[in-house]
Amino acid sequence: MRTQVAIIGSGPAGLLLSQLLSLQGIDSVILERRSRAYVEGRIRAGVLEQGSVDLLREAKVDERLNREGLVHDGFGLCFAGRTERIDMKKYAKGSVVVYGQTEITKDMIDARLAAGGKIFYEAECTEIKDFDTDNPSVTFTHDGRSQELKCDYVAGCDGYHGVARRSAPQSVLREFERVYPFGWLGVLSQTPPATEEVTYANHERGFALCSMRSLTRSRYYIQVDTDDAVGAWSDDAFWDELRRRLPDNIAEAMVTGPSIEKSIAPLRSFVAEPLRFGTLFLAGDAAHIVPPTGAKGLNLAAADVRVLSRALIARYRDNDASLLERYSEICLDRIWKAERFSWWLTTVTHRFGADAFGHRIQLSELDYMTKSEAGQTMVAENYIGLPFEAPFA
Ligand code: RFL
Ligand code: PHB
């Protein structure tokens, strides 16, 4: 089998790349280790930057997003028993759109398959060969037998645990990591959201977050210990703990109900450098992880794909490989800024042990950041997503 771009992984990065390339007549094949139902069922991110929305529009997968996405011009920060609002419209002239990653994934899979796109599910890539040449290939197992996909380029969109980053030469690859001593316990429930906007809470008992998927479906998170078992958290225990960590007016307004989904995710910051190894490119979680505070994970994956798709299009249309050569450098600049913001928001909102001094510093920083014009501008412009440099704007 042969294609122009072999894409490993049918998460948001792989699907969006395939869709954007296909609109320019560039052929790709997606290889996905899991089943379609599994990929479509994963509950993950929910907040889209305007730049990600624009890219989904360019990819012509925005029809349902336009109808069902909730546009938010601000978000809440609770601390010391009160709630402050970051006005994104005022301080950064922008907004975000609340629309679940699950829905984006479904929309993109539908669009790819409707256009005759090739996605192999339950096709696990085991090896990437010859990516130091112009004739790389990917070995994968499908229907119980080993097969080979030859191509011009390989896009490693296979997430943090994928094969692409592991294939990179260890002499060149550098990895930067911070593991946080806590995780997030998330609950999805068919209840109206407690807050109109996404609201992050710093509390002495630990961090809490009120989010939503629609006007009738809520998504909440609380900070828990890394070794907590999800089974040890009954719905009632979750709702009780969440209420304790929120200001009274929000806790009292909250409508609770049975959880539809409940899971614990560890928190980590991670960046791999570089993102290009000959004809192999890393994009999305394969290259970097952010803690979910600030909702940058999915948006960073879309940002990589914005750059990679344009670079591949320039290569095929104009025989210009200069953007492909600069892919790593262009992406890493923005990646590190999103890493910084996610790390910062995590640092000022979570509980790090019984550190009373640290907690006072957090409250002081949150008070400053929500009162000062400069502080509010920093928070707002990072939350809506930093601008892209030409020619990617
Ligand atoms: P994905 O979505 O992980 O997709 C990678 C795909 O590659 C497949 N794969 C392979 N396929 C073939 N062969 C192999 N050898 C393969 N190895 C892996 C996997 O099955 C998978 O389908 O990466 P992508 O496309 O880069 O997208 C990134 C986003 O999904 C991610 O940044 C966010 O979802 C991160 N994230 C969250 N971000 C937020 O902004 N807010 C959140 O609330 C939030 N919650 C989460 C999250 C990530 C989680 N993970 C990865 C554990 C919750 C969780 C549980
Ligand atoms: C979510 O709705 O899942 C969500 C919202 C904001 C975040 C992280 C997750 O920062």
**Given the structure tokens 């993950």, which residue do they identify?**
44
Buried b (16+ CB within 10 A) or exposed e, 59-84: bebbeebeeebbebbbbbbbbeeebe
Which residues, 6+ apart, have CB-to-CB distance to 62 below 8 Å?
A: 53, 56
Among 291, 380, 387, 373, smallest CA distance to 72 is for 380
Whole-angstrom distance, CA of residue 12 vs CA of residue 3:
20
What domains can be seen in the chain, in order of their start residue?
A: 5-70+98-177+268-349 (3.50.50.60)
Q: Whose CA is nearest to atom 49 of ligand 1?
A: 44
Told to judge if 72 belongs to the known catalytic residues of this protein, a careful annotator would answer yes
3-class secondary-structure state, position 247: coil
| Residue 91 and residue 380 in contact, taking contact as beta carbons nearer than 8 Å | yes
Distance 317 CA to ligand 1 centre (A): 30
Query: Of ligand 1's atoms, which has the minimum distance to the CA of residue 164?
Result: 15
3-class secondary-structure state, position 78: strand
Whole-angstrom distance, CA of residue 84 vs CA of residue 376:
11
Q: What share of the chain is helix, strand, coil (3-state, %, to 5)?
A: 40, 25, 35
Token pair recorded at residue 273? 């450098």
| Residue 127 and residue 61 in contact, taking contact as beta carbons nearer than 8 Å | no
How much is the pLDDT for 392?
A: 86
How much is the pLDDT for 359?
A: 96
**Given the structure tokens 């890539």, which residue do they identify?**
125
Query: Of ligand 1's atoms, which has the minimum distance to the CA of residue 263?
Result: 55
| Residuewise pLDDT in 10s, the chain (393 residues) | 999 999 999 999 999 999 999 999 999 999 999 999 999 998 888 999 999 999 999 999 999 999 999 999 999 999 999 999 999 999 999 999 999 999 999 999 999 999 999 999 999 999 999 999 999 999 999 999 999 999 999 999 999 999 999 999 999 999 999 999 999 999 999 999 999 999 999 999 999 999 999 999 999 999 999 999 999 999 999 999 999 999 999 999 999 999 999 999 999 999 999 999 999 999 999 999 999 999 999 999 999 999 999 999 999 999 999 999 999 999 999 999 999 999 999 999 999 998 999 999 999 999 999 999 999 999 999 999 999 988 888
Q: In the sheet that 276-277 helps form, which strands lie side by side, from edge to edge?
A: 118-120, 28-31, 5-8, 153-156, 280-282, 276-277
Distance 299 CA to ligand 1 centre (A): 12
In testing the pocket of ligand 2, which one of 188, 221, 267 has its CB within 8 Å of the most ligand atoms? 221
- Ligand 2 pocket residues where CB is under 6 Å: 45-47, 198, 211, 219, 292-295
Told to judge if 383 belongs to the known catalytic residues of this protein, a careful annotator would answer yes
Q: In the sheet that 145-150 helps form, which strands lie side by side, from edge to edge?
A: 124-129, 137-142, 145-150
3-class secondary-structure state, position 244: helix
Catalytic, out of 153, 200, 221, 327: 200
Q: How many CB atoms lie within 10 A of CB 128?
A: 25
2-54 pLDDT, tens per residue?
Answer: 999 999 999 999 999 999 999 999 999 999 999 999 999 988 889 999 999 99
